[in-house]
Structure 1
C-alpha cells in the first residue's frame, strides 16, 4: 500500500484508556484494511483529523448522466445491491432497518443540498479516474480490473465512495465497514481498560483517500459439498465472509463419487438415489479398518433444489460473487452412475460409495463409447446453464481411471473410428465434445490440470492443483489456456495448517500454514508477458472428507481465507505479512461475534 502524508488521526487508534472526547490528535499507523489497498493517503490535521459518523447516517446514491439510461433489469439489480449495502452498513453502525436512525438511500433526483448533507455518498461514474493507481504501480491498471476498483474519500464533511460499477461501490463499502469495525474494536478495548473512554455512539473515522483495485480478476474459493453436505443457509454464511474480503468466485463442487447434490428435473434419480449413501457411525474417510465399526448403518446425504441453487446464485451476485458450478466428468461420477448405470462402461448396478470405500466392481467413469452418455450429460448441462449464468462451467476432468475404458468394446470402436491413438486422447475427445456443446451455448469450460493430457479445446481454462506437476502451468499457458492457480501446496485448506498434534484430522500431504498461504506466489515463474496475461488469478479449496459440519470447515478456512484474499487482491510489492498478522485479532474477534469458528492465532 502507498501511504502518503502525516498519519494524524483521532480516537480510532487511541491506546485503551485515552480520553478522546475533546478530539485530541494522536500520531499512529495508517488504518489496516484487509485486503491491503493499493493506495491510501492521509491528509493530516488541518483543523480536523477525523470525521464523526452518526449511526443515524443518511446514505445518498447518485449516478452520472451517462448511467441514467439503465434497462429495467439493470435498474432492479442495482436497487437490490444498494439495499444489501444499506443493510450491511446498518449492521455495522448498530441500526436496524425500520428503527430510529435508519439509513436511507435517497433517490437520484435529490437536491444538491441533500447530497452535501449526506453522511455517506455513493457515486456511480463509468468515467471515474484512478490516476493514483497508475502512479503507484507505474502503469495503468488493466481495464478489466477497473470494473472492481473503487475510491473511498473521507473528509470533515462526510464519506464518499465512488466506482465505475456497483461491484466497485460494494468493495468500497467493505473497506468502510472495516474502518467502522476498527473503531468499535478499539473503543471496546478502551472500555475494558478504563471507564474514562468516550461513550459517544458516533463512529470516528480517519480522514483519508483510498484508491484501490485488485491484482487479479479471479479471486476464488472452492467448497466440496459431495463428501459432506452443507445447507443453503450455511453456503450463504460462507458467501458473507468471502464478500467481506473481496473474493469474487465461489466454485461449487456439486458432484463427485460420494454424492450428487443438485436437482436435475429430467433425471430425478440423480437426487433420489445419487444424493444418498449408507454410512456407519464412527466411520472416517480412508479408514483402513472399517471392520472395527459395529454401529447401525444410517442414510446420509442431501441436495439443493433448483430453487435453492438459484437463490444462492442471486445472493452471491448481490455481493459481487460469481458462482461457478462443477459437474464432474468423465470421472468421479460414481454417484451419478449409481442412479443411471446405463451410462457407465460396465452397465451394472452399483451403490453410491461411502467413507469406507467403493463397492467391488463399482465404476466412476462415464462411457464415451455410448452415444447416449453425451445426450444424458448435455441434458443435465442444459439445466445447469439455466440455473447458473456464469460464463464458465467447471467439468472436472481429473483423476480419470481409464481401466474400464480399456476393457470396453464400445470405447475401442470409438477410438478406431475417431483415430484416437491412446486413452488420454479419448479423455480429450470426451472433454472437448462437452466443451463444444457448452461453447454453442455461449459458455466455456474449466478443467483440472489433468485435462491437459491430450489435445484440449483451446478455449478451456485450467485450474492447476497438482503441486508435483511442475510443468503443467507452463504447458497450460503455452497452449493458450487461461490459468487459475489452485496449487494444493499451499492452497488446499483441507490440509493441516499447524500440528498435526492438537489439530483436527486433516489431509497430511503438506503443511499449509497461514504465512505460507499469504506468501505464496500466484504468478508462476518463467512466463512471458503474453503468457502472464493468461493467468486469471487463484483460489483455495476445501475437500470435505474430514469436515462434516460448518464449524469444522470454518476452522480450516479461517484465518487462511484472509491471507488468500490479500494474496489475490494486493500487489505483490505491497504485501506485508507482519502488518497483516497484526490486524488479524481485530478481524477474528469480529468474525467470532458473527458466529464464525476459526483457528486461534499462535502466540
Structure 2
C-alpha cells in the first residue's frame, strides 16, 4: 500500500475497493469531531466531495467514514477497516483516530494531498484492515526560527507536513544570539530591538559573503496562540525553547544588565550577525533570574505543553571565570566551579517550572556539573548523554547530531548546497536507532522517543528548509513510529520502493525536497562556503 510510516499490520481483503462519492459522509462518534472537521476540510478540498455529517452507526453500512474511540486500543493506536460499505476508523483516543485518518488519506492516493480536485478523478480505497500504533510517544522535529525566521504561515505549513508523517512534537527554538522571536509584553525591547539584526553571514562563519540587509521577525502572543491551537488540532504538542544561559546575545543586546557587564561592555553588543559558539552569556545574578522567570510566566500562559525547553547548550565559562560577580556567586553557593554554576542555573528553573506543573528539558550539556532532579535530556552530542541520563533515571529524547541533524549535508561533493557537517543520506537517517543497545530494558524505558533537528544558519528560507528536511524527515518518521520486527531489521529497499509513491504526495503538497538524483540547478548554492566534517560518525 506504500504507506509511510509503515503500519504495524496491514491485511488486504481481496481485490475489492470502496468508492467515495456524493453519498459518502462522516459519522463522528463522541470525541472525534476534530478529526471529522479535518477530514471534511482536507479531503473535501482535494476530492470536491461535501462529506456531510451522518448519524453515528454501529458500522459503515451507510457509505460513511465512521470515527469512534475504542479505549481498548493504545492511546495513539488505531484500527482502520475498509469494506464495500465504507470505512471505520477506531482509535484509542482522539489522537489515534486522527492518525488513522492520515492513513486513510494516504490510501486515497497522492492527489488526496491537493487543495482542489482534478477533473475526472475517481476516489477509491482498497479493502484493507490496518492495525497500528506508534513505537515512541515523542516523535519530534526541532525547528530553529532564531537564526533564520520562519513566518507564521510557514510554521503552520510545517505542522501540516509533520502531521502527514504522524509526528507529534514541534520543538520550537525561539531564541538565540541571532534573534529573539516571541513577544514578551513585560520586556518589549526583546521584540523591538532583539528580533532583528543588521546583516547576516551567508554560509559558514568562515565565508567572506554577507547578506547586507536587515533580517528579523517575531511572533506576537496571538500568533503563538494560533500556532499552538493549530498544532493541538493536529495532535502536535509545541515545546518552546528559550535558550539560557548561553546563546543569549540577542537578549543581552536588548537588556545589557543581563550580561557580564563587569567583564565586557554589554551596552555595545549587537544582535549577532554570524554563527558559532558565542562567548557572551548571561550573568548569574538575581536580576537575570527574575527577568527569565517573567519570560517563562508569559510563556506558560501561551504554551500548555508539559515540557519547557531551556537550552543549556554551548555555554562558554570564560566570562564567569573573569567575573567578580560570578565568582562571588560561586563562593556564596558553595559551588566547586563554573560547571556547577551552570547546573545551579538549570536547577533553579527546574524547580521553578516543577512548582508550576511543568517539566524542564535541556540539551545534554545540562549534565555538566550535576543534572537537575526533574530534568529531561535532549541527547544531541551523540548517544552518550542519553545513556548517562537514562542510567541515572532521567527521561531522554534521542537526537544525536551524527544521525538526525537535517541541516547536515545529504551527500558528498560540491553540488550539495552549503555543505555542513557529516554526510547523512536518506538511508543513514532511515537506519537510525533511537534506543542505544547499551541500555538495559529498564533503562531503555526512559527513552521517550526521538527528534530530528533543523538548525537554520545556512537554511535561509522555505525553499532551503524543504530541501534540507525532505525526504529525510519521511525516513525519520518511520524510525519514530514503526516497530522493528527485530533489532536492525529495517528494510531500506522496501522503504525506497514506498518512497516512489510518497514523492508524489510531497509533490502534491508543493514540497521542494531533494530529488534522489541530487539537487536541481536552483537548489544549489555554488560558491557559498560550508563546513563539511571529515569521516563517518559512529552509528551507536
TM-score, length-scaled by structure 2: 0.89
The 5-angstrom pairing of residues 40-439 of structure 1 reads 40-44=10-14, 49-54=16-21, 56-63=23-30, 79-92=33-46, 94-95=47-48, 101-108=49-56, 116-126=61-71, 128-129=72-73, 146-181=74-109, 201-279=121-199, 283-289=202-208, 297-346=212-261, 348-356=266-274, 364-368=280-284, 370-439=285-354
Contact 1:287 1:356 in 2 (8 A): no
- Relative to structure 1, the CA distance from residue 79 to residue 112 in structure 2 (aligned partners, 3 Å threshold; closer, same or farther) is closer
CA apart distance, 1:79: 3.7
CA apart distance, 1:354: 3.7
2:416 equivalent in structure 1: 503
SS in 2 for 1:170: helix
Please tell me whether residue 519 in structure 1 is matched to residue 519 in structure 2.
no
CA apart distance, 1:86: 2.0
Aligned partners of 1:358, 1:154: CA distance in 2, in Å? 53
SS in 2 for 1:117: coil
Q: Deviations over 1:17-45 (max 9, x none)?
A: xxxxxxxxxxxxxx121100001112335
Aligned partners of 1:253, 1:317: CA distance in 2, in Å? 18
For structure 2, the residue ranges without an aligned partner over 5 or more in a row are 519-540
Aligned partners of 2:387, 2:422: CA distance in 1, in Å? 23
Contact 2:169 2:236 in 1 (8 A): yes
Supply the RMSD in Å over aligned alpha carbons. 2.3
Aligned partners of 1:215, 1:356: CA distance in 2, in Å? 39
**Aligned pair partner of 2:467 in 548, 555, 567:** 555
Aligned partners of 1:437, 1:596: CA distance in 2, in Å? 41
429-438 vs 50-59, which deviates more?
A: 50-59
Aligned partners of 2:270, 2:502: CA distance in 1, in Å? 41
SS in 1 for 2:109: helix
Please tell me whether residue 596 in structure 1 is matched to residue 519 in structure 2.
no
Contact 2:309 2:360 in 1 (8 A): yes
Aligned partners of 1:358, 1:564: CA distance in 2, in Å? 27
CA apart distance, 1:106: 2.9
Contact 1:406 1:412 in 2 (8 A): yes
CA apart distance, 1:325: 0.3
Aligned partners of 1:211, 1:409: CA distance in 2, in Å? 62
1:582 equivalent in structure 2: 497
**Aligned pair partner of 1:529 in 438, 441, 446:** 441
CA apart distance, 1:577: 1.5
Q: Deviations over 1:187-243 (max 9, x none)?
A: xxxx9xxxxxxx964323221111100011110001111110010000111111110
2:530 equivalent in structure 1: none
2:532 equivalent in structure 1: none
Aligned partners of 1:590, 1:485: CA distance in 2, in Å? 28
**Aligned pair partner of 1:543 in 440, 446, 455:** 455
SS in 1 for 2:304: coil
Aligned partners of 1:532, 1:249: CA distance in 2, in Å? 20
Contact 1:483 1:534 in 2 (8 A): yes
CA apart distance, 1:285: 4.1
How many residues are matched?
A: 508
- Relative to structure 1, the CA distance from residue 240 to residue 309 in structure 2 (aligned partners, 3 Å threshold; closer, same or farther) is same
CA apart distance, 1:269: 0.3
The 5-angstrom pairing of residues 466-481 of structure 1 reads 466-467=381-382, 471-481=384-394
Please tell me whether residue 463 in structure 1 is matched to residue 375 in structure 2.
no
For structure 1, the residue ranges without an aligned partner over 5 or more in a row are 1-30, 64-74, 96-100, 130-145, 186-190, 192-198
Aligned partners of 2:416, 2:275: CA distance in 1, in Å? 25
Aligned partners of 1:149, 1:455: CA distance in 2, in Å? 37
CA apart distance, 1:518: 0.3
Contact 1:222 1:251 in 2 (8 A): yes
- Relative to structure 1, the CA distance from residue 432 to residue 517 in structure 2 (aligned partners, 3 Å threshold; closer, same or farther) is same
Rg bigger for which structure? 1
SS in 2 for 1:120: strand
Q: Deviations over 1:495-550 (max 9, x none)?
A: 1011332111131x211100000011111111111101000110111110111110
- Relative to structure 1, the CA distance from residue 357 to residue 502 in structure 2 (aligned partners, 3 Å threshold; closer, same or farther) is closer
Aligned partners of 1:151, 1:269: CA distance in 2, in Å? 51
